[in-house]
């Protein structure tokens, strides 16, 4: 069984030097890498939503991993960001976004801003994103990255995302980029009818990517999309540390 890798705690991954100092060459190489990512990592593995593919084809992932060479930004793996965290591998970002079924104008809650890349992809789809990050420095870095690439419609807040954001509920979608020991009741309750929650659930070192769909006031259906590995969701409704 192959595990899909999400945001993992960073152990040791040192960036390499860029192969060229020519801006035009770097830009062309980065564009090729992005196109190859979409074709080889997303479309080939079954991502079918053309809107998701287009969003990821036009979102500069390299801008969200400033300490990693642009030549590595589109590798098929999680990459290090600040605070010992990582940005999820491209396929995982695409799959979670596809499962969420984002509609233009939809109000989406993201738990775990991280680098800001997942929020950027959601915003490219026309979603109005509220993103909760528990680490203030990481939240500020994500805000700066989103501004740098011209992404609007993302409100990054600092707080305990494990309990959601009641003041904005009900949400048209909730995506959690860290693993909870169980699906938090607060997140279930904050879903709008017809909306989905996508969240890794399980022990610290291996989880299931769980999809929860609210089909009525007291009716939630859930299923697993497969095995994954994510950094723990820390908070009141998550892990203690």
Residues 6+ apart with CB under 8 A from 195: 170, 171, 172, 173, 174, 213, 214
Element (H, E) at 199: strand 191-201
At 194 the three-state DSSP class reads strand
Tokens 């993201």 — which residue?
110
The structure tokens listed for 86 are 């990582």
* Angle, CA of 191, 140 and 122, to the nearest 5°: 40
Distance CA 204, CA 211 (A): 18
| Token pair in block for residue 48 | 């079918």
Q: 145 Cβ partners below 8 Å, 6+ apart? A: 63, 64, 66, 115, 116, 117, 120
Catalytic annotation, pick one of 88, 115, 131, 162:
88
Strand ranges, E, within 32-170: 79-80, 86-87, 107-111, 128-133, 154-158
Q: Can you count the helices (H) and strands (E) in the chain?
A: 6, 10
240: annotated active-site residue: no
Q: Token digits for 155?
A: 């409100």
Give the catalytic positions in this structure: 88
């Amino acid at each position: 069984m192959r595990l899909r890798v999400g945001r993992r705690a960073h152990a040791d991954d040192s960036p390499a030097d860029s192969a060229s100092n020519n801006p035009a060459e770097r830009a062309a190489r980065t564009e090729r890498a992005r196109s190859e990512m979409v074709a080889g990592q997303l479309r080939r593995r079954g991502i079918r939503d053309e809107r998701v593919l287009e969003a990821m084809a036009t979102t500069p992932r390299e801008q969200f991993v400033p300490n990693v060479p642009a030549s590595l930004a589109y590798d098929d793996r999680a990459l290090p960001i600040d605070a010992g965290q990582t940005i999820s591998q491209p396929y995982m970002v695409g799959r979670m976004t596809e499962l969420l079924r984002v509609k233009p104008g939809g109000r989406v809650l993201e738990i775990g801003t991280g680098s800001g890349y997942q929020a950027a992809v959601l915003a490219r789809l026309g979603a109005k994103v509220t993103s909760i990050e528990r680490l203030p420095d990481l939240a500020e870095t994500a805000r700066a990255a989103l501004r740098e690439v011209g992404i609007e419609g993302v409100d990054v807040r600092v707080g305990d995302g494990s309990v959601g954001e009641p003041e904005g509920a009900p949400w048209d979608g909730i995506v959690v980029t860290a693993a909870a020991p169980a699906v938090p009741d607060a997140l279930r309750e904050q879903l709008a009818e017809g909306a989905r929650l996508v969240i890794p659930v399980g022990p610290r070192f291996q989880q299931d990517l769980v999809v929860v769909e609210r089909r009525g006031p007291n009716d939630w259906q859930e299923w697993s999309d497969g095995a994954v590995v994510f950094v723990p969701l820390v908070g009141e409704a998550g892990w203690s540390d």
